[in-house]
Structure 1
Amino acid sequence: MRYFYVLITLFIFCISSSFETNVDSKMVLKKPRVSPRDGAEPHVLLETRNRTSTPKHGKSSIAEDLTQFIQDISVDERDLNDFYSISISPTRLRRLGEYYTERQNELVTVFRSSWDELGVDGEVDWLLIRGYLKRQQDSLRSIWVQLKDLEPVLKSWAPPLVELCEQREEVIRFEAKDAAQALSDSGRAVDALASSIRAGDLKSTVSEFAAYRAVSAVEELQSHLTEWYGFYATYDPMFDWWVKQEWQQFPSKLSELVAAINEHLVGIKPGEDDAIVGQPVGRDGILADLQAEIIPYSPEELIKIGETEYDWCEKEMIKASQDLGYGKDWLKALEYVKTLHVEPGEQIYLVHELANEAVEYVTKHDMVTIPRIANETWRTTMMSPAAQKVNPFFLGGTLIQVSYPTNSMSYSDKMMIMRGNNRYFSRSTVFHEMNPGHHLQYYYISRYKTYRGMFTTPFWIEGNAFYWEMILWDRGFAATPEEKIGMLFWRMHRALRIIFSLKFHLNLMTPQECIDMLVEKGGHERATAEGEVRRSFNGDYSPLYQAGYMLGALQFYALRKEIVGRGSMTERAFHDAILKQNQMPIEMLRALLKGEHLNWDHKPSWKFYDGSHKDTKSHRG
């Protein structure tokens, strides 16, 4: 496997030398195509852009050039990822590393020297793209570490097949006999590896989460190989003569390998798909993510915030419980509210009723602009039973996906899902997912400052949607005890998300302990708690994603006090401005809305949390 380790050596060299391109071409899988633009010097790029852009008032603005620079990166990145699409390929990592380093150098050499000309908008954009490029480079290094963890599962058979797929992308001539040999050799290696896994030989060397990622890597490579075979088969007679027989058996070998990994390394038995697999990132990993999100708090401080918010929620729950006659046993009151669900077939109509209620309320109180198209074009779909195991509640954005039982579910599953999506839980979910929440966000971010879409963060997109739950609570949108319990359930849930997600990544809680916390302290159905934890840790979400809901909302809540509460903006103007600035860490949004200039070496500094839960008349709009 000399070839594989040569690739490893090359990648490490590229990382340490800022991805310099003067590498011996014999050491790489292939030489990627480089356009004239990619090889140009930064000052040439800027001069070309200045010549082709439309000048304003007789000269080009450096801030406009920076906007174009960000737009270029967004499109370049899409094209590079589309072309270098095999996630386990060292060639992909090297090419992306080269690109991010080139753009980072250009950002410093061209734009930082003109800092005084950027204005607040440009300063924010410069800091956003600098942070983005750094995060992408850090991500490549993280992926590299993850690939090292996958070596025991991939190195004996995958590299030659990755090379075949990459040669196909560039349509490089190859000998069909050599491709057949690669498939034959890899097939034998896959058989031997599967046998070794079934015998328990890799159990001590491959972690559960590495094995979980390995399954995805194998399935992804199988998809690329299927496309590779279809590209040449029947069109190239020599390819068919050499390769067809070897290929016929190969996909089943990979399927058997996946089954062996799942059963013996991940712990998912045949016919099961419910394993909760996660990998804590550790305190350093959380701190790095907090730095990228421009949040000046430690993980321990954030957990304390979550605990403080939970305590407030519990006190309010007790008040509502007492109003319903259940005394201080708010869990009994919560159980009563769960029974207030609609009958099968009625949930989709309830969703529309609740959506209209929310829009009418925020419109009546002049809280935000909801354009007609944003209100009339959202669609409703139903979530599959399999999807409900991961997302037991609604999902939304461009459309709303309703979570509700199907006739294929067991009685107990049907009841848990109906109880978890009762009328009063759904009331908050609908306006969080649609208007004025995610659906309205998507309307604006696809129309205003669209180049900032690449700076997406859960603290903005999820925090802003949950923030609406907080300010509508302050206004009295929850008038009855049942409505209060419905809103408090979600608020308590978001506080617990801060606690359990950060404690998991600090190695202080196991997935099972997270489930138990949601059931015992949040009043969740066990099935919905399992779905929540599975969703949180299966690798699709960043470590801070679940904490971002409430922490982002608290940032927006504090910013509202600073701006609307002091009379700098009306409530509607404030909410419209948030949406029109598009996505970004909230500390950057704060600088934009307050018109505060920033330094190029800006560090997180905004301490947004004071523990206050009382709105004031001055910022009710």
Structure 2
Amino acid sequence: MTVTTNDASRPPSRIDEIADQFVRDAVALNPTEATQLGIPGYDHLMADYSPAGHDARAGVIRDALAALEGVEPADDVDRVTKAAMMERLGIERELADSGERLAELNVIDSPAQHMRDIFALMPTDTEEAWEAIGERMSAIQDAVDSYEESLALAAERGNIAALRQIEAVIKQADDLADFDTSIFTDLAKGAKITEADGEERELKRSTRRALENGAMDARQAYADLAQYLSEMLAMAAPEDDAVGAERYERFSRYFLGAKVDLDETYEWGREELARIIAEQEAVAAELYGPGTSIAEAMDRLDTEQQRLLHGTDALKAWMQKTSDQAVAELGTEHFDIPEPVRTLECCIAPTQTGGIYYTGPSDDFSRPGRMWWSVPAGVSEFTTWREKTTVYHEGVPGHHLQVAQTVYRKELLNLWRRQYCWISGHGEGWALYAERLMADLGYLADPGDRMGMLDGQRLRAARVVLDIGVHLSKPCPDEWGGGTWDTKKAWPFLVANANMDKKILAFELDRYLGWPGQAPSYKIGERLWLQARDDARAAAAARGEDFDLKAFHRRALDLGSVGLDLLRDEITR
């Protein structure tokens, strides 16, 4: 399978040219994507979220699809690229044609957050970088105006986010508009340049003034967004959170790159949840003796001093140490980890949502891969038993190994393959698979750490049941209220299956309800990864060969982020 070779002599093909041109055209229309990818020249700009902006992006998608259809692959690399792009751009075209992109508004992944979150990835090491930050903050006003235009058009067509999402985004916008709580205030106040020798240098007065003005403009833009949402959109918003089967099926394909039987998957989710609970019960007995409940075991783990971290500095240091150890040890036996990929920075995020996430390296690795922890206000104590598996999920062998290793293969993979394409079920499914793999390799031998891994797995299985159940209005089991699944029944079900602060859990529920199909893609993605491994094992046996797990991981990761149907096809070729 030639896609696994790092062949520096392979010349770019016509399909590579189409893929790279698509990325150039796409980031020109969405500058925050350029910043995410480390492509220079766009850091001072914001996207046009208006209907005209969406039409322009849809046009780029249609042009790329048309160009691809007329080209025959030159080799296996091309064959995978063409299949992956036809699948991805095809579902993107469906979402555009259905008007979903115009109506995007939720608590975690919509323009309301994109305009905020991009500032965490912007360089701050030069005067010019800070000038770009100030200019981009000022550009938020036009971006908000264009966003409101699209939301209004979608509303005219009957597509409005549920009231729950709108009210939550109003709160986010209010916080960003408030001088004391806005990250834009913090950006302007804390602006400085740190030299290579560690010395700090003050900005020029003109730059600082531009930052202060930019922060003021950004706060006003979010104040305007909150007012529009409150006075216009909320008045017409539906209270029902369910999106229905037709829309959900489309979202599910988008997040998985695969078509699954949603009814069968819902039943599998219930079975998987029961299996994980039984495994947790066994670990609780192992920890503290027979008869210990899962809740009792977790309460005791929370009080064990050797498992506690005090303050974000201690959390950050522990994350880095755990990550560095995994990179050093796994890179000698279980994975091939190139030198640039061995650097992973663990950071405390500037936001306070409670999320933990990963951002990939720039194309030249000048900005390394980073693991971010968004610590809620007032939280200052952390437990290692809950979070060790999270470090493996976000770092190595999880997202960092998966993403950064693909970026590293610059000689073989075009820009779209190595940097642009991201499929949640592939990426998050691999990260869950990676957690289980670390348990299999003995890194979670401590039963407390294993309980933490199972706690996360239990939440992911519960999300399959909750997400499909609510959005498809499926029958609710009697133990959770009977009748039909709805948001009211989802809350106690979620609380019972997630050992998490209720404030964070409330955000999580809002996320599932406003981002249909995304949360289940973790566990369904893991299921499809395991099925792909089983298929590869069976294919090796049919050829009379021993199954090589390290080779399987290398071949699978070398494909980059592709739809899970395509992954399964390629891994058994």
TM-score by length of 2: 0.64
- Choose the corresponding residue for 1:577, options 547, 551, 555: 555
**8 Å contact 1:280–1:506 — kept in the other structure?**
yes
- The match for 1:359 is 327
Gaps of 5+ in 1: 1-55, 150-185, 194-204, 223-247, 268-276, 596-621
**8 Å contact 1:432–1:466 — kept in the other structure?**
yes
- The match for 1:379 is 345
Residues 21-55 of structure 1, C-alpha deviations (whole Å, 9 max, x = no match): xxxxxxxxxxxxxxxxxxxxxxxxxxxxxxxxxxx
Deviation at 1:557, TM superposition (A): 1.6
- The match for 2:496 is 520
- The match for 1:560 is 533
SS in structure 2 of the partner of residue 544 of structure 1? coil
* Equivalent-residue separation in structure 2 for 1:257 and 1:459 (angstroms): 32
Distance 1:261 1:497, change over 3 A: same
Deviation at 1:307, TM superposition (A): 1.4
RMSD: 4.1
Structure 2 residue identity aligned to 1:372: E
- Choose the corresponding residue for 2:261, options 290, 293, 298: 298
Distance 1:68 1:257, change over 3 A: closer
* Equivalent-residue separation in structure 1 for 2:347 and 2:229 (angstroms): 34
**8 Å contact 1:388–1:531 — kept in the other structure?**
no
**8 Å contact 2:87–2:257 — kept in the other structure?**
no
Whether 2:245 is the aligned partner of 1:283: answer yes
**8 Å contact 1:88–1:147 — kept in the other structure?**
no
Deviation at 1:405, TM superposition (A): 6.5
**8 Å contact 1:347–1:404 — kept in the other structure?**
no
Gaps of 5+ in 2: 1-8, 32-41, 106-144, 153-159, 178-215, 361-368, 475-484
Residues 278-301 of structure 1, C-alpha deviations (whole Å, 9 max, x = no match): 953321112223445443422222
* Equivalent-residue separation in structure 2 for 1:535 and 1:148 (angstroms): 13
Deviation at 1:554, TM superposition (A): 1.7
Residues 417-463 of structure 1, C-alpha deviations (whole Å, 9 max, x = no match): x3xx4111111011111111112223212122242143310111111
Distance 1:333 1:289, change over 3 A: same
Deviation at 1:85, TM superposition (A): 6.5
TM-score by length of 1: 0.59
**8 Å contact 2:470–2:487 — kept in the other structure?**
yes
**8 Å contact 1:370–1:436 — kept in the other structure?**
no
* Equivalent-residue separation in structure 1 for 2:322 and 2:101 (angstroms): 47
Deviation at 1:68, TM superposition (A): 1.7
- The match for 2:90 is 134
Deviation at 1:353, TM superposition (A): 3.4
- Bigger Rg, which one: 1
Deviation at 1:319, TM superposition (A): 0.8
Distance 1:372 1:142, change over 3 A: same
Distance 1:489 1:396, change over 3 A: farther
* Equivalent-residue separation in structure 1 for 2:553 and 2:339 (angstroms): 17
**8 Å contact 2:358–2:399 — kept in the other structure?**
no
* Equivalent-residue separation in structure 2 for 1:457 and 1:315 (angstroms): 31
Deviation at 1:464, TM superposition (A): 0.9
* Equivalent-residue separation in structure 1 for 2:572 and 2:521 (angstroms): 23
SS in structure 2 of the partner of residue 317 of structure 1? helix
- Choose the corresponding residue for 1:503, options 469, 473, 476: 469
SS in structure 2 of the partner of residue 446 of structure 1? helix
SS in structure 2 of the partner of residue 389 of structure 1? coil
Residues 89-141 of structure 1, C-alpha deviations (whole Å, 9 max, x = no match): 33223333444333333333x22xx4xx6555433322222222322222222
Moved more, 134-143 or 576-585: 134-143
* Equivalent-residue separation in structure 1 for 2:458 and 2:22 (angstroms): 40
- The match for 2:21 is 72
Whether 2:282 is the aligned partner of 1:319: answer yes
Residues 196-215 of structure 1, C-alpha deviations (whole Å, 9 max, x = no match): xxxxxxxxx99526856996
* Equivalent-residue separation in structure 2 for 1:444 and 1:140 (angstroms): 31
- The match for 1:93 is 54
* Equivalent-residue separation in structure 1 for 2:374 and 2:458 (angstroms): 21
- The match for 2:398 is 437
SS in structure 2 of the partner of residue 522 of structure 1? coil
Residues 78-97 of structure 1, C-alpha deviations (whole Å, 9 max, x = no match): 22345996655332233334
- The match for 2:193 is none
Moved over 6 A (4+): 213-216, 251-254
Distance 1:522 1:258, change over 3 A: closer
Distance 1:282 1:582, change over 3 A: same
- The match for 1:29 is none
Moved more, 559-568 or 543-552: 559-568
